[in-house]
Structure 1
Amino acid sequence: MTAVAEMKGGSLANRIDHLFKAVQPKGREFSYEEVARGCEALTVGTFSKTYVWQLRTGQRDNPTKRHLEALAAFFGVPVAYFFDHQVVDDVNSQLALVAALRDSDVRDIALRALHMDHATRQSLARIVNEISKMQGGHPAVKDPDEQA
């Protein structure tokens, strides 16, 4: 196995697959052809849809620096996303927020909370945490009463 494939926080294929699922500005996953064309436009040389598919499925796991740079640029993430587990965590949190804000109900709640005072937002955060716990989920919002 290569160093890229052995990285903490998932294999290269898992990270690429996550990008396909999380980065959907058209409301759907990009096709392999779209990613290949986009990456090819960002780099000098060829980038085939088959190669993108092989990277995503783990059949190829040792891309060149140029290929990683093109994939990172295409999906709008730093190249370190493919190597550094802290960058993966940070980027995935940002991608989850963007995905959540695509939901009109979530967006409506967030926009309404914007116009609340600090104390009211803290109360709302506690309510959301309690509802999440009742539904068996984990709190998605930091408890405002916790000390940092």
Structure 2
Amino acid sequence: MEAEGGESPHEAFAIKLNRLFKSVRSETGEAYTPRAVSEALTQRGRKISPSYLYQLLKGESEPGYAVVEALAEFFDVPLDYFANSARGRELNTQYEVLAKLGDNNVRELAFRAQNLTPEGLRNVLRYMEFEEHRTKDDEHTSE
């Protein structure tokens, strides 16, 4: 059985779980590690080893419902996040954007944008649109 993007269900789950590790931050702002997630889940009465989490992240194992439920609860996402449904795809798109916001360059851009005037911010957005079109044009000419 294949997931929507052509990957196996193990790989599809791994992609979604990796996205959560990249987009959801701890209270200190740090990215979670499999060890930290394992320890937190164990404290909540849900024993999942770090090595099993690594297997899930690599797409080497398929989790049972209880594991999916525990991970959804830990990362504070609806169970639908892991589903291959319209709602699941919508949630994944949202978390993909959050993962990109975790990128240092994007965070710096957002941080610095708060000091711009409305006109300055419009200029930055126009420049970003220009770069986006230029990049797409470069990709088409190189094909």
Q: Given the superposition, is the C-alpha separation of residues 23 and 57 from structure 1 closer, same or farther in structure 2, using an over 3 Å criterion?
A: same
Q: Residues 51, 100 of structure 1: CA spacing in aligned structure 2 closer, same or farther, 3 A cutoff?
A: closer
Does 1:95 find its partner at 2:129? no
Deviation at 1:128, TM superposition (A): 1.8
Match of 1:126 in 2: 126
- What's the Cα RMSD here? 3.0
SS of the counterpart of 2:77?
coil
Q: Which amino acid is 1:77 matched to?
A: V
Tell me how far apart the structure 2 counterparts of residues 62 and 105 of structure 1 sit (CA, whole Å). 36
* Higher helix content, 1 or 2: 2
Structure 1 residues 77 and 32, CA gap change in structure 2 (3 angstroms): same
The unaligned stretches of length 5 or more in structure 1 are: 139-148
Aligned equivalents of 1:85 and 1:47: distance in 2? 26
CA contact (8 A) 1:81 1:91 kept: no
1:130 is displaced (CA, Å) by 0.9
Q: Write the letter of the residue equivalent to 2:131.
A: I
The structure, 1 or 2, with the larger RCO (C-alpha pairs under 8 Å, 6+ apart) is: 2
Shift of 1:88: 0.7
TM-score for the superposition, normalised by structure 2: 0.67
Aligned residue number for residue 34 of structure 2:
32
Structure 1 contact 8–85 (Cα < 8 Å) conserved: no
In 2, distance between residues paired with 1:24 and 1:90? 15
Q: Is the 8 A contact 1:100 1:106 kept in 2?
A: no
Aligned residues: 127
Secondary structure of 2:68's aligned partner: helix
Give distance in 1, aligned partners of 2:46 and 2:61.
18
- Aligned partners of 1:102, 1:120: CA distance in 2, in Å? 19
User: CA 1:129/1:7 → structure 2, altered by over 3 Å: closer, same or farther?
Assistant: same
